[in-house]
Structure formats: C-alpha cells, structure tokens
Amino acid sequence: MYKALRKKDSDDGSDSAYAPSDVIRQIYPDTFFTDELQIPLDQIGLFLEFIDDRLEAKDLLKKENEFQLMDFLIKQSEKFAMAQ
C-alpha cells in the first residue's frame, strides 16, 4: 500500500505524493464504502475528501497497519454521517 503513496513525475523525475484518498480508493472497492461504512455510492468521493484532511499519519496506509486504517475509516464514516 505504501508504495502507492509515491508516484514518479515523468516530466522532471521528482517524486510527488498522492493524497491518502487516492491510495484508499485503489485499495477498497465501492462495496466496502457502501456496505461496511454505510456511505452512499454518490458520496464516496465526498467522504474521501473529508478524510484527506484528517488522515495525518501516513503510516496507517502501510500494509501492516491495515486494521488501524479500517478502524480509522469506520470512525470517520460515523463522523461523516453526522456532518451530512
């Protein structure tokens, strides 16, 4: 998972970081968001923007921290639902 955080910029050869939501979107299918997190399909993008500002520890995106990431996503989905 962590390798997906970095992408190679083809123009100048420098690395640029992906947003956490980009990585999470690659890891989990729509059904994870709709079934497990109870996020409506049309609001998945909004939810991912919502967590971008809150996911400070990029270590959560490492494979060995997958359960902590899922816990974080569950808690944030509850906050997102209350904010809607």
Do residues 49 and 84 make contact, with C-beta atoms less than 8 angstroms apart? no
Average pLDDT over residues 22-48: 95
> pLDDT tens digits for 2-18?
444 444 344 444 444 77
**Alpha-carbon gap, residue 43 to 56, rounded angstroms:** 22
What pLDDT band is residue 58 in, cutting at 50, 70 and 90? confident
Beta bridge partners of 15: 8
Q: Specify the DSSP class assigned to residue 28.
A: S
